[in-house]
């Protein structure tokens, strides 16, 4: 499923909403998640999962094509931990 499939499914289930409002709702949800992570906040969506930021230290990498050494600066990467309910739904019948 892509972002546009998600918008279409929600629009179909909510015929009273304008498509542009559904687009805005989906955009707002993912934009708020992004802004929270930019601030360094944690995001906890019960039943779905939690996003947090983890740091990666600076390191010396190598250009795989030329073999040349390059400095890779510190960076922040998002981390997602699946929520209990979704994890269980992914594994129904395998207990």
Partner 1 sequence: MADRTVTRAHLAEAVFQEVGLSRSESAALVDEVLDRVSDALVTDGTVKISSFGTFAVRQKGERLGRNPKTGEEVPILPRRVLVFRPSQVLKARLNGEDPPGEAEGEA
Is 13 one of the binding residues for partner 1 (CB under 8 A)?
yes
Q: Provide, rounded to whole angstroms, the least separation between the CB of residue 18 and partner 1.
A: 10
**79, 45 Cβ separation under 8 angstroms:** no
**86, 49 Cβ separation under 8 angstroms:** yes
**Binding-site member from 19, 28, 58, 62 for partner 1 (CB under 8 A):** 28
Strand 59-62 to strand 69-72: parallel, antiparallel, or no bridges (unpaired)?
A: antiparallel
Cα–Cα distance list, 65 to 14, 73, 83 (Å): 51, 20, 40
Whole-angstrom Cα distance, residue 44 to residue 40?
A: 13
Is 3 one of the binding residues for partner 1 (CB under 8 A)?
yes
**Which of residues 62 and 82 has its CB atom nearest to partner 1 in the complex?**
82
Q: Provide, rounded to whole angstroms, the least separation between the CB of residue 11 and partner 1.
A: 11
Instruction: Write out the residues near partner 1 by the rule CB under 8 A.
Output: 1-3, 5-6, 9-10, 13-14, 17, 21, 24-26, 28-34, 36-49, 51, 53, 75-80, 82, 86-87, 89-91, 94
């Amino acid at each position: 499923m892509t972002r546009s499939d998600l918008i279409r499914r929600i629009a179909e289930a909510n015929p009273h909403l304008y498509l542009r409002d559904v687009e805005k709702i989906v955009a707002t949800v993912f934009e708020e998640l992004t802004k929270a992570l930019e601030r360094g906040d944690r995001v906890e969506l019960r039943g779905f999962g939690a996003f947090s930021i983890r740091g990666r230290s600076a390191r010396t990498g190598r250009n795989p094509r030329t073999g040349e050494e390059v400095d890779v600066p510190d960076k922040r990467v998002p981390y997602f931990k699946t929520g209990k309910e979704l994890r269980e739904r992914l594994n129904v019948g395998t207990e």
